[in-house]
Chains A and B, each alone.
Chain A
Amino acid sequence: AQRVTQPEKLLSVFKGAPVELKCNYSYSGSPELFWYVQYSRQRLQLLLRHISRESIKGFTADLNKGETSFHLKKPFAQEEDSAMYYCALFPGRDDKIIFGKGTRLHILP
C-alpha cells in the first residue's frame, strides 16, 4: 500500500542546531515527493519538490530510493522555521496525493 510516514509528531531543536525531519514512503514505482510547510495561522505552502533538487530557505531534501526516504534537512535552525511540515507523495497515476501526518518543528531560543 502507498504510504508516507513521518515518525516524529514533534521535533524541538535549539536555534543554530541542525534540523532533520524524517520522511519514509512506501511505493513501488517512481513517485514525486514534496515537502509542504504550514506556518502558524497560514495556509499550506510548497517548500520543496525532489525533482527540482533545490534549496529553499536553507532546507534541502534528497530522495534516497534505496531507503525510500526523503528527509528534510537544514544545517542551522532559525526561529522562523517553527512550523508544521508535511511530506507528500504523488504516485502520478490517478492524482491522489498522499500526505504524511506531519511533524511540528519547534525551534528553541
Chain B
Amino acid sequence: EAQVTQNPRYLITVTGKKLTVTCSQNMNHEYMSWYRQDPGLGLRQIYYSMNVEVTDKGDVPEGYKVSRKEKRNFPLILESPSPNQTSLYFCASSQPRQGSGRYEQYFGPGTRLTVT
C-alpha cells in the first residue's frame, strides 16, 4: 500500500531534549516536506526537499533541521525543543510528473508533539 508513515505519532518531551521525528514514504517520490499545523495559523511549511541531498527552508524553519540521505526518508530534527514548537506535524511527499495533478501531495498521519 502506497503510504507516508511518521513516528512517533505522539510525543511529550521537555525543553532542550533533542528529538527526531521520522518520515518514510514507499512511493519513490522525489519531493518531501514537513509542515506544522497550529490553530488559527493553518499549515505552515518547515522544510522541503526536492531530491536526495537537496533541502530548502520553508516558511518557519527556525529551530528545526532535516536531512535527506535516502530518497524514502526525511527525518525532522529538533536539536533543542522549546514550548513554542508544541504542534501537530505532518510529513508529505509527491512526485512531479507530466499531466494533471502532478503536484498532489500525500500526507502522513501526523505527529502530535508537546514540549513542556
Report the Cα distance A46→B102, complex, angstroms: 12
- The answer to the question of B109 belonging to the interface, with a C-beta cut-off of 8 Å to chain A, is yes
A52 contacts across to B, CB distance below 8 A:
100-101
Counting chain A residues whose Cβ lies within 8 A of the other chain, the interface size class is 20 to 34
Counting chain B residues whose Cβ lies within 8 A of the other chain, the interface size class is 20 to 34
Give the residues from 69 to 112 in chain B that come closer than 8 angstroms, CB to CB, to chain A. Answer: 90, 92, 94, 96, 100-105, 107-110
Give the residues from 45 to 103 in chain A that come closer than 8 angstroms, CB to CB, to chain B. Answer: 45-46, 49, 51-52, 86, 90, 92, 94-97, 99-102
Nearest CB in chain A: distance from B24 CB, A: 14
- A95 x B43 contact (CB < 8 A): no
B residues with a Cβ closer than 8 A to A are 31, 33, 35, 40-45, 48, 50, 56, 58, 90, 92, 94, 96, 100-105, 107-110
